[in-house]
A and B are shown apart, each in its own frame.
Chain A
Amino acid sequence: MNIDYSKVNKITINKSLKLDCGSVLEKFDVAYETYGQLDDSKSNAILVFHALSGDQFVTGTNKVTGKNGWWNSVVGPNLSIDTNKYYVICANVLGGCMGSTGPKEINPKTNEPYGLTFPVITIRDMVSAQVHLLDFLGIKKTLSVLGGSMGGMQALQFCSLFPNRTFSAVPIACAASHSAQNIAFNELARQAIMADPNWDSGNYFLNGKTPRNGLAVARMAGHISYLSEQGLQNKFGRRLQEGEGLNFSFDADFQVESYLKYQGYAFVDRFDANSYLYITRAMDYFDLYKLNNGDLSKAFKDTKVKFCIISFSTDWLYPTEESKKIVIALNSIGAQVSFVNIITNNGHDSFLVEEPEFFQTLKGFLDSTYEDFKNENSR
């Protein structure tokens, strides 16, 4: 599949960005999309952070892949994040592969793609890069920053680093640090990519090959972790692909096998394998507890941000307990925090699928917060 990246909007930030690893990017690109109109008082901007496999094409049609935006169920006219009302911004993360500076892009110093010479980045680096986009768009303070999974981690990190740049935040299905299980799943994905001979120590772009099999297996492992046991059982059970009985072979007999293969190989066409290594690493390094000497509440000291934390009952990747820890930390310092745990069978994927209680919670919070923010701005 030939992918045309010429339709990607991007800005080049001609300022150096000092990364957590110590390296410095002399300049960098931020690829982004916006939806809706910024209102006169600039009170309606919402910065959405995407998750591991997402990109800046939140809703509508992805201009590069031609597929639906990844949050079509949530962002759009009259939806929970109503684009008739709000100005929605989403940037491709640093280290990503949809136009922002990352391992796939050309290193200006060598005129070759970075590959594994790209520095290891962190969630903090991603967020620091995106603040420059807000500056470019002339937005001093967003109505809200929000996202699910790694997007939620970025929202937490944003509020910790730039408490005065947002009025509210909605971290969804996330945690303030990666657990051993989270790291283990990511390591499985990385090892799958690196075990593919086509990966060629990260230099596959030099010979025009891609580590398709490795990346597909990495994505399959991810997909298992995104669904709950019950959700997977309800969706596929032991149903067979052909319906005629077992084939006594290693082809895909079961529907669940065929689903995983489809998801795995569909991903390969749109995602860069090295990017997957870098982004999963950034997630693993995320630890707001450690950054604050074990006291998470210090990450948000004196915060004025209104938080709405949302978790899903069958999310075993970022369990409800992890969200509750964030709630307790915020509550202990008197922050304005709300919390809802949505009861569902859809596991971690819940924030991406049809989940009416989640939609309603998000909409109620954003709409009432918008009224408060407008009042604050008109004072």
Chain B
Amino acid sequence: MKIQDDVLAGLIDINSRILDVGCGDGNLLLYLKKSKRIDGRGLEINQKYVQECLGKGLAVIEGDAEKDLINYPNRSFDVAILNQAIQQFYEPRKVLNELLRIAQKAIITIPNFGYWKVRLNLLFKGTMPVTKTLPHSWYNTPNLHMSSIKDFYHLCNLDNIKVIKSISISSNKMSDITSNNLEIKNLVSELGVFVLSK
């Protein structure tokens, strides 16, 4: 999704040190390297993706964020990115807090389970939602911990995490989420993007 890369790039300063956790094929890192001249690193569990990243000249470590983030020193990055991956961890809360230890800021994107199409799916069909951003069936989904934008806010409050900025993405359009429009954004957003610090 091109708009998502643009939104993320817009949140990142030139020349910053970036860790992309679950960087996949490395295209976001590559885009940020070109557009923002970042000093980027990746952590990725899938070896095929790691190989692809190496072929693109990216520095990427094959590893499991839930086991390996502990080895990263405090504040060693300006920004840690977790792009639509937090829902796939066994302990998303722990990963979130690790990222905020390693980096000054974390940028987290989540597929929003509060999106109206997701809600209607369950309400009218009575089946687990399958949408553009949640394409799997219940029995083969890698997503273990789905949340809505509202849920994610609650966790941030619970763990004293500061939400510096939050952005709604829907139908390739972006808009800011504020405390005033949270209910409606929780309904109309396909994706939520959060800039966090601790």
Contact = CB atoms under 8 A, between A and B. Distances in A.
A181 interface: no
A308 interface: yes
A339 interface: yes
B60 interface: yes
A337 B41 CA distance: 8
B73 A306 contact: no
Interface residues of B, number: 21
Contacts of A368: 54-57
Given A339-B62, A339-B63, A364 B47 contact: no
Given A338-B50, A364-B51, A371 B71 contact: no
B76 interface: yes
B59 interface: yes
Contacts of A360: 51
Given A339-B62, A340-B51, A357-B47, A372 B17 contact: no
Interface centre among A338, A339, A367 (most CB of B within 10 A): A338
B72 interface: yes
Interface in A267-283: none
A266 interface: no
Contacts of A338: 50, 53-54, 58-61
Contacts, number: 58
Interface string B37-67: 0000100000100111111111111110000
B167 to A, nearest CB: 29
B71 A340 contact: no
Contact of A340 (B41, B54, B57): B54
B51 A334 contact: no
A328 interface: yes
Contacts of A372: 57
A357 B51 contact: yes
Contacts of B47: 340-343, 357
A83 to B, nearest CB: 20
A345 interface: no
B83 to A, nearest CB: 19
A331 interface: yes
Interface string A320-345: 00000001100110101111111100
A334 B74 CA distance: 12
Nearest to A325: B71
B62 A341 contact: yes
A5 B61 CA distance: 44
Interface in A353-373: 357, 360-361, 364-365, 367-369, 371-372
Contacts of A369: 57
Given A337-B61, A340-B50, A341-B62, A328 B55 contact: no
A364 B52 CA distance: 8
Nearest to A332: B73
Chain B CB within 10 Å — which of A343, A360, A367, A369 has the most? A360
B55 A367 contact: yes
A270 to B, nearest CB: 35
A334 to B, nearest CB: 6
Given A337-B61, A339-B61, A340-B47, A364 B54 contact: yes
A328 B71 CA distance: 6
Nearest to B55: A364
B76 A334 contact: yes
Nearest to B40: A336
A365 B72 CA distance: 23
A306 B59 contact: yes
A357 B48 CA distance: 9
Contact of B59 (A336, A342, A364, A367): A336
A361 B76 CA distance: 27
Contacts of B51: 340, 357, 360-361, 364
A224 B58 CA distance: 37
Nearest to B17: A334
A372 B72 CA distance: 26
A361 B55 CA distance: 8
A340 B51 CA distance: 8
Contacts of A337: 59, 61
A371 B55 CA distance: 11
Contacts of A361: 50-51, 54
- The 7 A-B pairs with the shortest beta carbon distances in the complex, nearest first, are A364-B55, A368-B57, A336-B59, A364-B54, A339-B61, A365-B54, A328-B71
Interface of B: 17, 41, 47, 50-63, 71-73, 76
Interface of A: 306, 308, 327-328, 331-332, 334, 336-343, 357, 360-361, 364-365, 367-369, 371-372
